[in-house]
Every structure is written in C-alpha cells, then in structure tokens.
Amino acid sequence: MGNFPGTLEGAFRPGVSARETVNQIFSPFLPDGPTMTAPSSALVARGLTKRYGDTVAIESLDLDVDRGVVYGFLGPNGAGKTTTMRILTGLIEPTEGEAWVADTPSSNRRELVDRIGLLPEEPPLYDELTGREQLQFAADLRDRSWDDVSERALAYCDALELTGDLDRRIDGYSTGMCQKTAFVQATQHDPDVVFLDEPTSGLDPRAAKTLRELIVDLAAADTTVFLSTHILPVVEEIADEVGVLHDARLVAEGSPEELVGDATAGGASGPDAGEDADVETGEEADLEDAFLALTSEPEAAWQS
Amino acid sequence: MSGANAATATETETAATELTAVDRLRADARDAGVLCRTELRTRLRHIRGEPRQLVANAFMLLLFGVGLPLLLVAPALSYGERLASGPVPAGQSGAVVAGVVAAGLYLGGAGGFNQNRTGSVGPLVRTSIPPRSVALGRLVSETAQASVLVVPPWLVLLCVVAVGAGNPLPALLLALATLPVLVASLLVGRVLGDVVRFVSRTIGLSLWAKALAFFGVTTVFYLGSQSLIQSQVGESEGLTSFSVPPLLPGEPLQAYAVAVLDPLGVAGHPLGLLTALVVLASGPVALAVALRVEAGLLSFESSESSDERDVASGTRDVPRPFTVTQSARVAWRYLLRTRRDPRMLAHLLPMLFGAMAMGASFITDPESLLLIGPGALVVGGTTLAGAAYCLNPLGDDSDQLPLLLTSTRSVGVLLRGRSVAGAVPGLVLAVGIGTPLTLYQHGIRAGVGQTLLALLLAVSSAGTALGVGALVPKFERREYMNVERSHPSTVAVVGFFFGGLVVGVAGLLLLFGTLGGASLPVVAAGWAVYLLVVAVPPVAGYVYAVRKFDALTLDDV
C-alpha cells in the first residue's frame, strides 16, 4: 500500500516527519482544496503531469475532445495511457495540471460520477453475483433504479449475446463475458463520457465487431468515447480523433487519416517513419505505420 | 544380439535410468532449495519492510520465546528435580512428550491446510519447477517458519529443566526424546492438514456445508481437548504434577519417554522401544506422503475447484425490507455474496477461536451457560455486527475500486451498507436468540433492557469498526485459512474482538446493576460515561472513514 492519507500504514516509517505523520492520519478531517472553473467541452486537460518519485508517467498533457466523438488514445506500453485515464476519471490525482470531464473537474469525484462510465482493463465485477445482479448493483451504486437503466442495459446485453447468461454467476463467466458485462455496466446509465480501456480484449471476432458498432452508436448519441487500445485497426475503423502518447507526452493528435498522411509524408521523425508504407511495393500506409513512426526514438538517439 | 550382450545392455539402461533418477532427485532438491530460500527471503523482507509486521512478529517471538516458558517455569523446574532425584516420572514425561506432539501436529496441520502463495505466485511457481520441488521447498520453508515459534521456548524450557535437575544430562536426554517427536509430529500434522485440504477440495459439499463441518469439527475437537485437560488438571495438583492418563495414546508416549530418559533400563520398556521405532519411522514416511499429496494438490488446485465454481444460481432480487434505502440495497448484495461464499467471513476465525477459549468454562460449569449465555450472545452478536463487514471496508473491495469510486457520489453509502449488512447476523444472534433467552431467564425488564443495549451496541460496533478499518486498511491480497482475499488486519480483528468484549460486558454489568436497584446517582453517572464511550468512537469512526475513503485514490492502494 502506498501513502494513503489518513492511514497509519507507512506513517511511522523512517524519514517521515512527525508533521507528515500527523497530516497523513488527520488529512480526512482537513478542508478540501480550492475548486476549479470549468471550460465547455466533453473532455479537457491542461498541463496534466503525473510523477511517481523520479518517474514521469505523463508530462504537460493537453487534451481537447468534443462531444459525441470517439477518441482513440494510443501509446506503447508504459506510455501513460492508463495513468491519464485514471486522472480523467478521478481515480488518481495529477501532480500538476487540471482536467475537466463534461464540464466537471476530474478532482470533483462527487459530481463526476454522474457523467462518466469506466471500463478498466480488469473488469471490476463480483464473482459471487450473477451478471444481472452485478448490473443492478451498479445501478444502485449510482442511486438509479433498475427500471431506469434496464431497457438500455438489456438492449446492450442482447446485442452482445449476453442475455442468456445474465442469471449465471460471474465466477462461471469466460473472460469475454466478463468484458461484455463490464461494458454494459459502464454504459447502462447513459453517461456523457465513457472511458474504455482495451474494451475488445478477450472478445471473439463477432462480439468485438458488435462492440465496435455499439461504440459508434454511443458516439452518434452524443456520448464521448475515450478509447484506449493497442488494436490499431479498431481505432482506425471507429475513432474520429486519435491521440498518440509516447514517453509520457502527447506526440501527435488528429484524425486517423491525418496521422497516416503525416507519417507517409515524413511528418514524423525517426528511423521507422513511413518505413512500412512500402512505397516500393505500392502498399498503402495505415495507422500502424503512423503509430510506429510516431513512437520510434529520434534517429540520433536510435543510432546511439 | 547374444544373451550376454542383451543382459549387459539392460544393465547399462538400468544404470542410466538410475543415474537419471538420482539426477532428477538432485535437481528437485536444488529447485526446492531455491524456492525455500526465495520464500524465506521474501518473508523476511516483508517483515522488515512493514513496521506493523515487525511489531507483530516481535510480539509473537516474545510471547512464545519468553511468555510461554515463564508460564511453565515452575513445572519445568519441578520436573527437572524429579528427573534428577529418582525414577523417571512416567506421567509427567508422557505429558511433556504429548505437549510436543500437540504443538507439532497443530503447527504442521496449520501449515498443510493454510497454504501460502497458492494464488498470485502459485501459477508461476507451478510452471517453473516440478511439483515435487515446489512441495519440498514450501514444506521446508514453512516448517522453518513454524520452528521459529517452537524452538525458542523448547530450548529455554530445556535449560530450565537442566537448572531444576542441577546437571545438564536429564535435559539432554529430554532433548533427545522430544526432538524426533517434534519433527515427526510436524510432518504428520502437515499430512493431516494436506488431507483436510484435499478432502475440502474434492468433497461434493457446498461452501456453507464445508464451513459448518469445519466449525463443528473444530468445536468438538477444542471442547473435547479442553474437557480432557481440565479433568486431568482437576485431579492433579495443577501444572507441576500434570500428567497424561495411561490410555492410548498416553501409555505409549509415557513408555517412550521413560525408555529414552532411562537409557540404561531401556530393555525393560518394549512398548517404549516400539513407540520410538514408530516415531523414527513416521518422520520419513510422513515426509514422503506429504510431498506426494502436496505435489498432487498443486496440479489439482491449478485446475480450480469445480464444485465451488459450478454453482447454479438464479438472480435474486432485493427483498422488501432491503429496498427502502440505497444503503440497504447495497447491504443486501454483501449478504447475498456471503450467502454464496461464506469465505468472505474467514477473517472472523480468530474471534471464533477466542470465543471457544472463553467458552471452555462452560465445560466445568454447564449451568452457567443459561445464566450468562444470553449476555454472551449480546456481546458476540454486537461484535459480529461490526467485525463482519466493517473492519476493512474498501480494502475488501480492492479489485472493484475502479467501479465503486467512479459510481458513488460518496463512499458513505458503501460504508452504511456494510454496517447494515453486519447488523443483520449480529442482531439475529443478539436479539433474535438472546432476547427470548433473557425473557425466559430474567424477565421482561431485563429482556427489554438487553434488547435496547444490543441495538445501541450494534450501531456503535459498526461505526467503531469502520473507523478501525479506515485507520489500518489492507488492500493487498493474502491467504488466510486457505482463503485468498484482502483480509482485515489481524491486529485490528483481535483488538476489536477484545474491545467489543470489554464494552459489551461493561454494558451488561451496568444494565443488570440498574435493574438490580443500584443507587441512582451511581447508575446515572455510569450510564453517562458508558453512553459517551459507545457513542463517540463510532461517530468519529464513521466520519473519519467517510472523509478518508472519499479521498481515496488508486495511488493509495
């Protein structure tokens, strides 16, 4: 466990001053920090930085995502995608910077919960409940009645061919079924912004296709979808905008076509820039080429 | 090929096979050594890195290394004197050996049943080195860890016996008698623990049936052993002349002790010699069986227990009384999950054992059960109300935190839900069973008073437990009693149990003092102080927990 404010855990370690110890234990009783003013957009980040000691997870990240957009968030492993998503959903606090989701500061979790839905990489489900009980529980957590959300939830379940298994316990579910349940859980309350971390992970091709269609439908209904995935064809197919994170920084942003165009035109630096565009063979470049170009080290650094 | 050549070829093949087997054994031992060293090193680092672990382990070492020998100094001195001054005291010597056997069986059994690291590290270990090496490595590492609790008091007590005897020879002979018994009983206990684990995995019973069976067997075993001990202590003059009865297994143990402690007359103790042979043989045999069973269990457990997973269950809607508030609906889900998997309450086992220890007095005085039973139900039930779900409120849900923290405006609803969930079984015990018994035993006034006290204490218990859980949350998963989850801090559980006991008993004394006609000013002052004690910690605890968990982030986990 880390330094949890208000916890004895770690409070008496060597090097922790008495003042820090007291602050750590009693911080829950201290008043909250200042509140921020909200810009008007589905998702805005200004100078978001997160450091863990000397390690920089994300640095000076600026984002502007419009409503009703599927925003593909790409980056190599460890680039800072999950950290960004956690900050935007209020699960962790940035070291510096601010973020707003649907006009609500991401630090204001109390207000944020009504506006967002989250599908993290590990589906947060209770093994002992059935799928239907899990969805009902998720509705209860938001103080929404099942009657309110069930029509939408069951429609998604139908589309994902999950309805027949809803009355089975989750500990008997396959990985894909857990993923489907967690997707429905994240979207059944009609949030303004949905955060999806690898949503097609563990899904068979048919379910993955259905899920992509559902994501497009969500965006068409004015829900903003923040989609983090390594499956580039998915992003290329459904994303309206793409942001590429590399070494904790946003190195490119635009529509998939723009990114591909930039890469093939040599807009991106690095040894792999446009490498797979295979001008010689005449094959068209795709988002994967652009991604490889954008996330490669600069030539000098690469050669050294 | 001629017959002679064929025979030579067969011999060569056999030799090659033997060599391979030897090599394999060597490789297994090497792998086991690596695993054992890694586990011990990891354990030491874990203890060194966590101040709480350091304190808890130092406390345990003091308790076993100093506290236990101090308790037994007088009988050990007296035993040493008797060893040196006359014929070997058979009863006492048998009791010493029986004590070593009991300690070894308990620690070995607990190690076999309560396997560590079968969860997160397990799959890696299973697929990295052969199962036999895993079993051997774990057995050695866990036996070494258990020995830390057994060896210091054993050595100290041997020294005390030597002091009592006035020379070291009786103590050395006693060491010679008890060491093989300790090793053998640790290994036999390990086999028993493994067998229980194997049976619990394979038997076609529901988790609740298994839990009840475990509870029943533990109760019978505990009460039976207490009954036996108390009957012996009652007949003798306390611990200084405590002995085991000349019954199986007492008689062979006495004979064994006498045979080893009186080596010159060993020929006159055929039963002792036979027992010594059994002791010496049972160690290697138990080791071989334990390795085989544990290696088998490793591959068995990795395929997951089908009987626990494959439970047909329809969806249960939230029933009427729980539909009234959001917290009550949340509470229903905790109860439902517990109904389907009672292992959610595994952290309550120390309380169960504590309650059993206190209930031992009922054996010698069964009539007291009726007298203090209803009060005990109030104390037990109200302690349960807090301890069941509130001692590690969000740590318990660590895997679901991304859902909980992005779905609830305040974690208060979860905390209140947990309080309500705990109050259900707690009040069933305290009021549902306790009140009718009190009405029958003590009349209406006592029944009403006790019910009000139970309601007050249930609320107090839940709020206080939330505060304790917020102060020492545990988010990391660990294995306890073969259940891997984020269990509450053991110190918190035990401390809460004793705190609940003191506050509950004080309330009952005050209640019956009031009903008994104690002077009004004393009663009023007593209740004023008592209400302060049962009101301030829960209110502060709840507020603290809400503020703190509302500020919780995944960086804290």
Judge whether residue B431 has pLDDT over 50.
yes
Q: What tokens appear for A75 in the block?
A: 């980056």
Nearest to B315 among A27, A128, A132 (CB): A132
Q: Looking at beta carbons, which residues of chain A come within 8 Å of B315?
A: 130, 132-133, 166-167
Q: Which residues contact B526 (CB under 8 A, 6 or more apart)?
A: B510, B513, B514
Nearest to B327 by CA among B424, B415, B390: B415
Residue B309 confidence (pLDDT)? 47
Residue A9 confidence (pLDDT)? 46
Nearest to B471 among A7, A133, A166 (CB): A7
- Where in the sequence is the domain holding A272, given as residue range(s)? 255-303
Residue B404 to residue A140, Cβ atoms within 8 A: no
Instruction: Specify the length of chain B in residues.
Output: 557
Q: Does B478 contact A at CB distance below 8 Å?
A: no
Contact criterion met (CB below 8 Å) for A148 and A139 = yes
Residue A133 to residue B329, Cβ atoms within 8 A: no
| Number of Cβ atoms within 10 Å of the Cβ of B255 | 22
Q: Does B232 contact A at CB distance below 8 Å?
A: no
Nearest to A141 among B407, B472, B547 (CB): B407
Element of type H or E holding A197: strand A193-197
> 387-416 in B: which are within 8 Å (CB) of A?
399-410, 413
Handedness of CA B518, B522, B528, B529 (dihedral sign): negative
Q: Does B30 contact A at CB distance below 8 Å?
A: no
Residue B403 to residue A124, Cβ atoms within 8 A: yes
Nearest to B374 by CA among B257, B240, B508, B183: B508
Omega cis (within 30) before A14: no
Q: At what angle do helices B250-261 and B169-202 cross, to 10 degrees?
A: 150
Q: Looking at beta carbons, which residues of chain B come within 8 Å of A111?
A: 409
Q: Does B444 contact A at CB distance below 8 Å?
A: no
Mean pLDDT score, B424-448: 93
Q: Backbone phi, then psi, for A98, in 5-degree steps?
A: -140, 160
Please write the tens of the pLDDT for every residue from A64-100. 999 999 999 999 988 899 999 999 999 999 999 999 9
DSSP summary character for residue A7: -
Residue A120 to residue B402, Cβ atoms within 8 A: yes
Nearest chain B Cα distance for residue A3, angstroms: 6
Q: What tokens appear for A159 in the block?
A: 């589309």
Residue A301 confidence (pLDDT)? 39
Residue B423 confidence (pLDDT)? 97
pLDDT, mean over chain B: 84
Residue B267 confidence (pLDDT)? 67
Instruction: Report if residue A165 sits inside a domain.
Output: yes
Measured CA distances, A166 to A124, A211, B313, B340, B399 (Å)? 16, 18, 11, 17, 21
Best mean pLDDT range from A245-254, B37-46, B212-221: A245-254
Q: Looking at beta carbons, which residues of chain A come within 8 Å of B344?
A: 128
Domain count, chain A: 3
% helix, strand, coil for chain B, step of 5: 85, 0, 15
Contact criterion met (CB below 8 Å) for B386 and B464 = yes
What region does A269 belong to: left with phi over 0, alpha with psi -120 to 50, or beta? beta
Mean pLDDT score, B455-462: 97
Mean pLDDT score, B369-387: 90
Q: Looking at beta carbons, which residues of chain B come within 8 Å of A135?
A: none
Residue B330 to residue A90, Cβ atoms within 8 A: no
Task: Return the residue in B48, B206, B315 with the most chain A beta carbons within 10 A, the one to mutate for interface testing.
Answer: B315
Q: What tokens appear for A60 in the block?
A: 């000076």
Q: What tokens appear for B466 in the block?
A: 């939330």
DSSP summary character for residue A106: T
Residue with token string 């459904």: A238
Residue B557 to residue A1, Cβ atoms within 8 A: yes
* Contact pairs from chain A to chain B, CB under 8 Å: 150
Measured CA distances, A118 to A189, A195, B359, B504 (Å)? 11, 5, 50, 44
Contact criterion met (CB below 8 Å) for A112 and A192 = no
Q: pLDDT tier at B295 (50, 70, 90 boundaries)?
A: confident
Q: For the residues of B137-203, what is the DSSP string, one character each? A: HHHHHHHHHHHHHHHHHHHHHHHHHHHHHTSSHHHHHHHHHHHHHHHHHHHHHHHHHHHHHHHHHHS
Q: Looking at beta carbons, which residues of chain B come within 8 Å of A117?
A: 406
Mean pLDDT score, B275-298: 90
Residue B264 confidence (pLDDT)? 74
Q: What tokens appear for B482 in the block?
A: 């073969």
The low-confidence residues of chain A, meaning pLDDT below 50, are 1-17, 19, 30-38, 267-280, 299-304
Q: Looking at beta carbons, which residues of chain A come within 8 Å of B408?
A: 113, 141-142
Residue B244 confidence (pLDDT)? 61
DSSP SS3 for B15: helix
Please write the tens of the pLDDT for every residue from B118-164. 544 556 666 778 888 888 888 898 888 888 888 888 899 999 999 99
Beta partners for A117? Answer: A194
Residue A172 to residue B310, Cβ atoms within 8 A: yes
Residue A88 confidence (pLDDT)? 96
Task: Return the residue in B406, B410, B555 with the most chain A beta carbons within 10 A, the one to mutate for interface testing.
Answer: B406
Query: Degrees (nearest 5) of the Cα angle B238, B239, B245?
Result: 90
Judge whether residue B219 has pLDDT over 60.
yes
DSSP SS3 for A224: strand
Nearest to A154 by CA among A131, A170, A177: A131
Q: Does B183 contact A at CB distance below 8 Å?
A: no
Mean pLDDT score, B95-106: 88
Nearest to B548 among A6, A93, A130 (CB): A6
Closest-approach residue (CA) in chain A for B489: A9
Closest-approach residue (CA) in chain A for B547: A28
A56/A58 Cα distance (integer angstroms): 6
Q: Does B55 contact A at CB distance below 8 Å?
A: no
Q: What tokens appear for B357 in the block?
A: 């220890």
Q: Looking at beta carbons, which residues of chain B come within 8 Å of A169?
A: 311, 313, 340
Q: Does B472 contact A at CB distance below 8 Å?
A: yes
Q: pLDDT tier at B466 (50, 70, 90 boundaries)?
A: very high
Instruction: Report if residue A236 sits inside a domain.
Output: no
Q: Looking at beta carbons, which residues of chain B come within 8 Å of A141?
A: 330, 403-404, 407-408, 413
Contact criterion met (CB below 8 Å) for A133 and B315 = yes
Q: Does B237 contact A at CB distance below 8 Å?
A: no
Nearest to A169 among B313, B475, B547 (CB): B313
* A135 alpha-carbon distance from chain centroid: 21
Q: For the residues of B401-464, what is the DSSP string, one character each? A: HHHHHTT-S-THHHHHHHHHHHHHHHHIIIIIIHHHHHHHHH-HHHHHHHHHHHHHHHHHHHHH
Nearest to B406 among A12, A116, A128 (CB): A116
Q: At what angle do helices B131-165 and B270-302 cross, to 10 degrees?
A: 150
Q: Looking at beta carbons, which residues of chain B come within 8 Å of A110?
A: 409-410, 550
B134/B35 Cα distance (integer angstroms): 7
Three-state SS for B49-117 is HCHHHHHHHHHHHHHHHHHHHHHCHHHHHHHHHHHHHCCCCHHHHHHHHHHHHHHHHHHHHHHHHCCCC
* A287 alpha-carbon distance from chain centroid: 19
Residue B399 to residue A3, Cβ atoms within 8 A: no
Nearest chain A Cα distance for residue B329, angstroms: 7
